[in-house]
Amino acid sequence: SAGDVLEDDPVGRLKVYVYELPSKYNKKILQKDPRCLSHMFAAEIYMHRFLLSSPVRTLNPEEADWFYTPIYATCDLTPTGLPLPFKSPRMVRSAIQLISSSWPYWNRTEGANHFFVVPHDFGACFHYQEEKAIERGILPILQRATLVQTFGQRNHVCLNEGSITIPPYAPPQKMQARQIPLDTPRSIFVYFRGLFYDVNNDPEGGYYARGARAAVWENFKNNPLFDISTEHPTTYYEDMQRAIFCLCPLGWAPWSPRLVEAVVFGCIPVIIADDIVLPFADAIPWEEIGVFVAEEDVPKLDTILTSIPPEVILRKQRLLANPSMKRAMLFPQPALPGDAFHQILNGLARKLPHQKSIYLKPGEKILNWTAGPVGDLKPW
């Protein structure tokens, strides 16, 4: 069994009101840069599209359990396709100012019955370097809201209690088109493609991935069991389907799209990211399908993986072959029962009913609108 929660149907258990915002917060941003549709942060776009036609949507805000503000905060990419988070806080503040002055619902709870999709590296801390993200903290006016985010790490200032951790976006149609026959032998023992050092942003080499990726390279670059490289071949998806283990080490943040790709392609994810909070952890039995290796144990990776009994490997592969496991990690268009959209709705449904304490008394204020760095307070 992949876990009973995967089969839950959220329809009928919650109602979501979608705010209608000016297109400068969403559609116009996307028109300017269509690359955002295939970026690993694209969940914010597809969640908006999904909710507009979802049966959980209500047009009557008075009966809504949850309110959703569609902002494409990560759709600001450099020429090389890297996201720039610097405008995001101003954009989010601007949208909240708009909804709080145009509708009464935000002010009743200061956002405690609102959710926001914030799929940045460090969620609503809005920075891709952990040190700066921790220094910033979660955008103060989002402190009461529920955050739907790819970032998840226990005991971290960028993870609110009650956040819903989701997988990054990986293109479902593209992956489907690259499936190879199921009986193809898995002839690669360990597979990884990606950076080991981020020379541009971390010239010293010890900060990126907390040194874990560098340790993989230094220890196993000449090991015949390890098929690892910085090259990104055109056969990347096919190669993952020929591998038994796929390394999923942290990068700047603990997560990466490799986690999704490994599950979809039936390659046992080797998760190297201490204290990671995994997507839909109450629905997907990560301990049963993955292998967890502490960052400090990376030099022993070969011993750890070769000592796993064949029957344990086969059991993990059988669980990974379950179609519902793969579906829960994807954002397909159109949506499918049990997919990542439905897992998000299940997460929201499990937080209902709201406690009465979320409603503010007349004149009561909890959030400080002027808290945070001065740059965040500029108009957007």
Model confidence over 124-137: pLDDT tens digits? 999 888 888 999 99
Q: What is the pLDDT of residues 280-334, one digit of tens each?
A: 998 899 999 999 999 999 999 999 999 999 999 999 999 999 999 999 999 999 9
Facing residues of 226 across strands?
Answer: 190
With a cut of 60, say whether residue 1 has pLDDT above it: no
H-helix or E-strand spanning residue 189: strand 188-193
Q: What is the DSSP letter of 128?
A: S
Is domain 172-329 in CATH 1.10.3470, yes or no?
no
Query: Cis peptide leading into 353, omega within 30 of 0?
Result: yes
pLDDT interval class at 203 (50, 70, 90): low
Three-class SS of 147-165: EEECCCECCCCCCCCCCEE
Q: Compute the mean pLDDT over every residue in the chain, rounded to the nearest whole number.
A: 93
Q: Which residue has the higher pLDDT, 150 or 208?
A: 150
CA 89 – CA 139 distance, rounded (Å): 7
Contact 138, 89 (CB under 8 A): no
Q: How far apart are CA 139 and CA 87, in angstroms?
A: 12
Give the pLDDT band (50/70/90) at residue 204: low
CA distance 342 to 62: 23
Share of the chain above pLDDT 90, in %: 83
d(C-alpha 288, C-alpha 257), whole Å? 20
How far apart (Å, rounded) are the C-alpha atoms in residues 138 and 18?
23
d(CA 210, CA 214): 9
User: 340-349 and 43-52 are packed helices; what angle lies between their axes, rounded to 10 degrees?
Assistant: 70
pLDDT number for residue 129 = 82
Q: Do 53 and 59 touch, CB atoms closer than 8 A?
A: no
Q: What is the pLDDT of residues 19-30, one digit of tens each?
A: 999 999 999 999
Rounded CA gap, 378 and 380, in Å? 6
Mean pLDDT calculated for residue range 86-112: 96
Q: Is the dihedral of CA 50, 55, 58, 59 positive or negative?
A: positive
DSSP code at position 215: H
Contact 103, 62 (CB under 8 A): no
357: Cβ contacts below 8 Å, ≥ 6 apart: none
Which backbone phi and psi does 206 adopt, to 5 degrees? -100, -10
pLDDT at 5 over 70: no
Query: Token pair for residue 331?
Result: 């954002």
What is the reported pLDDT for 283?
87
Confidence of residue 3 (pLDDT cuts 50, 70, 90): low
Domain boundaries, the chain: 2-169+333-376, 172-329
- Report yes or no: 92 and 71 within 8 Å, Cβ to Cβ: yes
Q: How many CB atoms lie within 10 A of CB 325?
A: 21
Rounded distance, CA 298 to CA 215, Å?
6
Calpha distance 360→111 (Å, rounded) = 10
Report CA torsion sign: 278, 339, 48, 97: negative
pLDDT band (50, 70, 90) for residue 4: low
Lowest mean pLDDT among 76-90, 160-174, 230-244, 252-266: 76-90
Task: Write down the pLDDT at residue 2.
Answer: 47
Cα–Cα distances in Å, from 217 out to 8, 222, 229, 241, 372?
A: 42, 9, 8, 22, 39
Structure pTM?
0.94
